[in-house]
Amino acid sequence: MARILITGSADGVGRLTAQLLAAGGHDVILHARSERRAEDARAGVPAARGIVVGDLSSIAAVRSIADQVNKLPPMDAVVHNAALGDTEPRRVETVDGLAHVFAVNVLAPYLLTALVARPRRLVYVSSGMQLSGTRDLADAQWTRRRWSGSRAYSDSKLFLTTLAFAVARRWPAVRANSADPGWVPTRMGGPGATDDLSLAPVTQAWLATEADVTGEHFFHQRPASVHPDTRVPGYQDELLAYCATLTGVTL
């Protein structure tokens, strides 16, 4: 059985993934952004083996999360599930002066990947909206462009998918992949979502425990299309360098 950390597991697809893995006998470590949300996480997955707490929008808090994880027995897999959606009506700035969506959806997974003791498997929960993202990092923090929540979200998922492929290329011994859970009726997806919620966690659980593949993107356990720029090594390196500049931590 595997020991697996799942970020953003207080509700939604993260909770479903945790429930599925715990039901399969795996040792699941939950994550919540606050102690109040930690109570929700524990209630939702009572079979979980532990929980770490910290707000992914803060670089200092992400460092604390990594410290908490590294004090536990080593992880076999990390599922980078936590994310903000595409509904923020304006640019929200974090304590570090970054765009909220970028900080949570991109920089936190980067920093946790760099700081948590290297597991055998890494899963990055992306979205079909990565296909409409733009690769330009010149204004990744949305300080010059007019804010668009949907575009910022799409960009963040393109960056995240690129991160997954960069890790797979640089760490060949690690199974690093991205997954699209579909547009499902969670709090983030909204009641109008049309995909099957019961299928949303299946691919992530499979990638975290069984799949013998790396550097791929999946939808319902089948290879899916990605933005072509995510496959470009030079662009992958550009993204890693950008994240390293923001955090002071090199992958």
Please write the tens of the pLDDT for every residue from 5-33: 999 999 999 999 999 999 999 999 999 99
For the annotated catalytic residues, the residue numbers are 153, 157
In contact, 80 and 109? CB cutoff 8 Å = yes
Amino acid of residue 248 = G
Mean pLDDT across 109-136: 97
* Annotated domain spans of the chain: 3-247
**What secondary structure does DSSP assign to 108-157, as a single string?**
HHHHHHHHSPP-SEEEEE--GGGGG-----TTTT-SSSPP-HHHHHHHHH
Give the domain 3-247 fold: Rossmann fold (3.40.50)
Provide the pLDDT confidence category of residue 250 given band limits of 50, 70 and 90. very high
Mean pLDDT across 231-244: 98
pLDDT for residue 193: 64
